[in-house]
Structure 1
Amino acid sequence: MCSLTHNDLKRIFEKLDKNGDGLVSLDELNWLLDKTGGSSTSLQELEEHVVGKKSLNLDEFLFFYDSMLKINDNGDDKGEVEEVESDLAKAFEVFDLNGDGFISSQELECVLKRLGLLEQQSGNKDCRAMILSYDTNLDGQLDFEEFKNMMMLTTS
């Protein structure tokens, strides 16, 4: 799991908080974890892990994120390469909205905006520039290997 900044996490929290009450429900949190490949737990297991709460405020959300990072960092090294590859494949699927095996600048823009990591006024131009930075075969989109290289260089 790559580390996100406090501002990134705050924007994600705000996007998840659909009704604006300052709380993220376990359903919303579970949806996020499912979409990002962060967890395959049931709502009951998630509630028990979060210590009996049905929803999280921003501070609790940040604490939960930090806890998940520590759990992932304390795991054993056995199979770490396969686990990273699997996590990257799941992340790739999140961005590959049409399932064609490539990430276009439109797909990248859509997902980043949905996660609150790209301002609404930022256009497709920024996403095209991001893709071109890692598009080694210059086809205007990222295949899985190019995506993997981008993620490994970005998170190292």
Structure 2
Amino acid sequence: MSSISQEQKTMSSISFNDLHRIFNKLDKNGDGLICLQELKWLFDRIGIQLTMEELESFLEKPSLDFNEFLFFYESISKQNKGECKGGVGCLQDDHEEEMEIVYMAFKVFDMNGDGFISCDELENVLSRLELWDANRNDIDYCRSMIRAYDTNLDGKLDFEEFKNMMLLTT
């Protein structure tokens, strides 16, 4: 794992540790590789519809090791981002794209579309991604996760609270 750069460890949308956990969860057979079927399973779970042919064409290989997975994540998270040489406009574009990503993530968690993320919705999405241990009694843990960012103390997260959580924890 020594070939992982510091830039890869500080990716913007999802932390390095979260990406490592996701990779390990996807690697069902523990061979240190994620095959196309495992990657397609993830996309299906988060609502991105890709055919196996589209995925094969995009990756041009049958499986990814962790470093390739990081590169893949980095490339899709920067997709549609133009080359930027560092002006004020660049910072604005980066901020707008980051907000769009956060908003899309919010919509995934806000399953009933009411503009809030409840504890049940949070648990449901994390369970679908297999990042939630349903065997533990985690309802208190779920509430404490929400409570940490619930500034108006209504027991759920609105978009601003969710945005603060996402931007402060990455």
Q: TM-score with structure 1 length normalisation?
A: 0.73
1:50 matched residue in structure 2: 59
Asked if the contact 2:40/2:55 (under 8 Å) is kept, the reply is no
**How many aligned residue pairs are there?**
140
Question: Residues 30 and 7 from structure 1, CA distance in 2 versus in 1: closer, same or farther, beyond 3 angstroms?
Answer: closer
Match of 1:100 among 108, 111, 114: 114
What is the correspondence of 1:1-156 to structure 2 with a 5 Å cutoff? 1-3=13-15, 4-14=18-28, 23-25=35-37, 27-32=40-45, 34-35=47-48, 43-53=52-62, 56=63, 60=64, 62-71=66-75, 72=77, 75=81, 76-77=83-84, 78=90, 79-122=93-136, 123-155=138-170
Q: What TM-score, normalized by structure 2, do the two folds share?
A: 0.68
Q: Structure 1: which 5+ residue stretches go unaligned?
A: none
State whether residues 26 and 42 of structure 2, in contact with CA within 8 Å, keep that contact through their aligned partners in structure 1. no
Bigger radius of gyration: 2
**C-alpha distance in 1 between matches for 2:35 and 2:74:** 23
Question: What is the RMSD of the two structures over their aligned residues, measured on CA atoms?
Answer: 2.8
1:80–1:32 Cα change, 3 Å: farther
* SS of 1:46 mapped into structure 2: helix
**AA paired with 2:72?**
M
